């Protein structure tokens, strides 16, 4: 099934305890697209300035990402994020954000993308995310990511959006913020009551949790650990990469069963574990589906008791 992603394309400057790298291709829709491209062609809707290097567009196109929906704003500058990771490589601080052309991003889905069945709304203003829905009339599965800023400042729009979602991604502290529940199981179930059919709570280096309902409508949940790696070079984009691997795999499934969703989460986990092994997309550009499948097998064996 065809996969559409709408979200940020950015230039990242990343500082870690051992190194600083500037001008990396980043952005939530970028990490999502590249990760999903190992499973399926991807249609990308975003916006960049005329400073955006052609090499970046070529890299995405070369991976099977259709950039017809990537608006190029003349005279504008691309969204730029600069951040620093703390020694634990899990916590980070944002040093600078220049939204630039992403500040008034108005997503326009090209005609040729409108038959998309799977839609991922990468992190962004909820009202802007909502604008995509009417432009994807054949959507079968819509999944969105969100963040603390929108929970705090755009709650009504987010509440409205959640009723139109099949799935919602958010991290553990955001799930607690959104629901007021300190226990993650209770928080995940409370988010489920806000509209989405399923909720994925991301726990960074500690993995992720799934919340959904069984055939009888009772809540069910499970937790999957992250794939342990000692090569944590740059965690930027891990969450979007996780979503990309997950949605990429789902695009190959016909019925989107509970089993498909779990396998998709495992693929997302594994793809994200590669994403953190290099700055920006560096590790990803050396990755193959075969190597992903090898690590998925290792992950499966690791969890087989």
Q: List interacting residues with its own copies (CB under 8 A).
A: 87-89, 182-186, 189, 203, 205-207, 209, 221-226, 228-230, 232, 262-263, 266, 299-300, 302-305
Tell me how far, at minimum, the Cβ of 191 lies from its own copies, in Å. Answer: 14
Residue (7 or 278) nearer to its own copies, CB:
278
- List the alpha helices (DSSP H) in the chain: 28-36, 54-62, 126-131, 148-153, 155-162, 172-179, 184-192, 238-250, 258-275, 289-302
Tell me how far, at minimum, the Cβ of 263 lies from its own copies, in Å. Answer: 6
Report strand pairing: 118-121 vs 10-15.
Answer: unpaired
What is the DSSP code string of 229-292? -S--S--TTHHHHHHHHHHHHHTT-SS--HHHHHHHHHHHHHHHHHHTTSSTTTTGGG--HHHH
CA distances from 150 to 36, 104, 284 (A): 25, 16, 29
Distance from C-alpha of 249 to C-alpha of 243, rounded to nearest angstrom: 10
Tell me how far, at minimum, the Cβ of 87 lies from its own copies, in Å. Answer: 5
Tell me how far, at minimum, the Cβ of 171 lies from its own copies, in Å. Answer: 14
Residue (85 or 102) nearer to its own copies, CB:
85
Residue (82 or 263) nearer to its own copies, CB:
263
Q: What angle do CA 108, 114, 120 make, to 5 degrees?
A: 75
Question: Helix (H) and strand (E) counts for the chain?
Answer: 10, 13
Residue (107 or 207) nearer to its own copies, CB:
207
Distance from C-alpha of 146 to C-alpha of 100, rounded to nearest angstrom: 20
Tell me how far, at minimum, the Cβ of 262 lies from its own copies, in Å. Answer: 6
Distance from C-alpha of 97 to C-alpha of 113, rounded to nearest angstrom: 30
Residue (18 or 288) nearer to its own copies, CB:
18
Distance from C-alpha of 237 to C-alpha of 222, rounded to nearest angstrom: 23
Sign of CA dihedral 67, 64, 143, 295: negative
Q: At what angle do helices 289-302 and 258-275 cross, to 10 degrees?
A: 110
Residue (84 or 154) nearer to its own copies, CB:
84
Q: For residue 92, what are the β-bridge partners?
A: 85
Tell me how far, at minimum, the Cβ of 181 lies from its own copies, in Å. Answer: 9
Tell me how far, at minimum, the Cβ of 223 lies from its own copies, in Å. Answer: 4
Residue (52 or 299) nearer to its own copies, CB:
299
Residue (266 or 281) nearer to its own copies, CB:
266
Tell me how far, at minimum, the Cβ of 182 lies from its own copies, in Å. Answer: 5
């Amino acid at each position: 099934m065809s996969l559409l992603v709408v979200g940020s394309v950015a230039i990242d400057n990343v500082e870690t305890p051992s190194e600083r790298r500037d001008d990396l291709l980043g952005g939530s829709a970028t990490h999502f697209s590249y990760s999903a491209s190992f499973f399926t062609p991807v249609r990308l809707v975003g916006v960049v300035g005329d400073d955006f290097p052609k090499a970046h567009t070529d890299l995405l196109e070369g991976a099977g990402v259709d950039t017809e929906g990537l608006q190029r704003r003349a005279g504008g500058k691309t969204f730029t994020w600069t951040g620093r990771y703390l020694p634990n490589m899990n916590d980070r601080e944002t040093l600078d954000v220049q939204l630039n052309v992403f500040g008034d991003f108005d997503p326009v889905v090209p005609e040729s993308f409108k038959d998309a069945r799977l839609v991922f709304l990468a992190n962004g203003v909820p009202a802007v995310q909502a604008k995509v829905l009417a432009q994807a009339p054949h959507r079968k599965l819509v999944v969105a990511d969100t963040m603390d800023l929108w929970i705090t400042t755009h709650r009504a729009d987010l509440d409205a959006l959640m009723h139109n979602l099949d799935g919602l991604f958010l991290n553990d502290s955001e799930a607690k913020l959104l629901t007021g529940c300190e226990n993650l199981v209770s928080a995940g179930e409370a988010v489920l009551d806000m509209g989405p059919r399923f909720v994925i709570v991301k726990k960074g280096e500690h993995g992720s949790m799934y919340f959904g309902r069984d055939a009888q409508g009772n809540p069910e949940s499970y937790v999957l650990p992250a794939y342990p790696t000692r090569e944590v070079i740059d965690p930027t984009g891990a969450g979007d990469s996780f979503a990309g691997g997950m949605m990429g795999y789902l695009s190959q499934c016909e019925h989107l069963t509970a089993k498909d969703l779990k396998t998709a989460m495992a693929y997302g986990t594994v793809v994200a574990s590669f994403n953190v092994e290099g700055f920006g997309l560096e590790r990803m550009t050396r990755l193959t589906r075969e190597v992903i499948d090898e690590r998925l097998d290792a992950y499966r064996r690791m969890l087989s008791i």
